[in-house]
Copies of this chain bind each other. A is one copy, B any other.
Amino acid sequence: MIMKKETPGQNPPDLTVAIGGLVLKNPVMTASGTFGYGEEYVPYCDLNRLGAVVVKGLSLEPRLGNPPPRIIETPSGMLNAVGLQNVGVRAFLSEKLPFLRRYDVAVIANIFGETVDQYRRVAHILSGAAGIHALELNISCPNVKKGGVAFGARPEAAAEVTANVRAETDLPLIVKLTPNVADIAEIALAVEEAGADGVSLINTLTGMSVDIEKRIPHLANVTGGLSGPAIKPVALRMVWQVVHAVKIPVIGIGGIMTAADALEFLIAGARAIQVGTANFVRPSATMEIIDGISDYLTRHGLGSIDKLIGSLNTNPSNGD
């Protein structure tokens, strides 16, 4: 538990972090698909205080999504099979982005395609729009039939889609990785070489749940993506592996509910973090996490978050 210890007269610690050319006022973002297009959380959360808002995955055309039921709770987690329902990139620009632009917050567009060409075209459309600060390439969504995870599971395919989008845009480019692979560091390296400015991980682990009374899957889609505290240890391990494999910034995602969770990722080397499922449970989770990180730095006498990032000592000579 983090106690607030006031040190009057002291400057608040510097929380600024940079991902490629994008400078964020703090390392706390909302994860794609868990924060709508921002509007939904305005009553509970001050968007101006966030490091960035990553919007729900956008595709070239609107998508209907999967039939219900789409979610089911699991121990310390949830499965979802929303199936990337979204209004499409053009409707996003005309109907959703204007609202977000009223706030002083970096907007990161999470994008998705069924083909390399679709990724490229979505990226092209977004690059021409004012008010988009970076792109996050979702090559890791497990809940759609075509594309998505197919690109994320093999280094060659991941590199190909990254390089194609890279050629299309000058925006900072983040590639979001799937954990459903044997060696995530290999994929991270491939997208780094293909021109990514950062990687974010993890997307959801593929899971399943069965209704034993009806003997049917709990999700109409049969399988879904597991998120929430349950996956945090896996996410943290992967972040740590990728931090040691690549030079570009790593954004940690997976089961972050509290400042303590966020600090685990930052200490392990993540430059920033994203909060997903926690928004559902406590709509003010991001606010508490920002405050908690700041308090921790103050309490430990660290003037800036740079001193914390990657400070994990994996070889303590005299631990107990």
A contacts, CB < 8 Å to B:
69, 74-77, 79, 153, 180-182, 205-210, 212, 214-217, 220, 222-223, 226, 228-234, 236-237, 240, 255, 260, 263-264, 267-268, 296, 311-314, 316, 319-320
Cross-chain pairs A/B with CB under 8 angstroms, 20 sampled: A74-B229, A74-B233, A75-B228, A75-B230, A180-B182, A181-B181, A205-B234, A207-B232, A207-B234, A208-B233, A209-B233, A209-B264, A210-B264, A214-B313, A216-B314, A216-B316, A223-B240, A226-B233, A226-B234, A230-B233
Q: How far is the CB of A180 from chain B (nearest CB, A)?
A: 6
Q: Chain B contacts of A229 at CB under 8 A?
A: 74-76, 230
Contact check, B209 vs A236: say whether CB atoms are below 8 A apart.
Answer: yes
Residue among A212, A312, A319 facing the most chain B CB atoms (10 A cut-off): A212
Given contacts A76-B229, A222-B240, 6 further A-B contacts (CB under 8 A): A75-B230, A210-B263, A215-B312, A216-B312, A222-B314, A223-B240
Q: Chain B contacts of A215 at CB under 8 A?
A: 267, 311-313
Contact check, A216 vs B74: say whether CB atoms are below 8 A apart.
Answer: no
A164 and B313 CA atoms in complex are apart in Å by 41
How many copies of the polypeptide does the oligomer hold?
2
Tell which of B153, B234, B267 touches A210, judged by Cβ atoms closer than 8 Å.
Answer: B267
A215 and B255 CA atoms in complex are apart in Å by 19
Q: Chain B contacts of A205 at CB under 8 A?
A: 205, 233-234
Contact check, A260 vs B212: say whether CB atoms are below 8 A apart.
Answer: yes
Contact check, A182 vs B153: say whether CB atoms are below 8 A apart.
Answer: yes
Question: A153 — nearest CB in chain B belongs to which residue?
Answer: B182
Tell which of B212, B222, B230 touches A296, judged by Cβ atoms closer than 8 Å.
Answer: B212
Q: Chain B contacts of A236 at CB under 8 A?
A: 207-210
Q: Chain B contacts of A74 at CB under 8 A?
A: 229, 232-233
Question: A299 — nearest CB in chain B belongs to which residue?
Answer: B213
Q: How far is the CB of A234 from chain B (nearest CB, A)?
A: 5
Contact check, A77 vs B230: say whether CB atoms are below 8 A apart.
Answer: yes
Q: How far is the CB of A123 from chain B (nearest CB, A)?
A: 26
A208 and B182 CA atoms in complex are apart in Å by 16
Q: Chain B contacts of A180 at CB under 8 A?
A: 182
Contact check, B316 vs A206: say whether CB atoms are below 8 A apart.
Answer: no
Q: How far is the CB of A235 from chain B (nearest CB, A)?
A: 8
Question: A260 — nearest CB in chain B belongs to which residue?
Answer: B212
A126 and B233 CA atoms in complex are apart in Å by 36
Contact check, A216 vs B76: say whether CB atoms are below 8 A apart.
Answer: no
Q: How far is the CB of A306 from chain B (nearest CB, A)?
A: 15
Contact check, B208 vs A237: say whether CB atoms are below 8 A apart.
Answer: yes
CB contact under 8 A between A319 and B208, given known A79-B233, A230-B75, A314-B222? no
A228 and B206 CA atoms in complex are apart in Å by 17
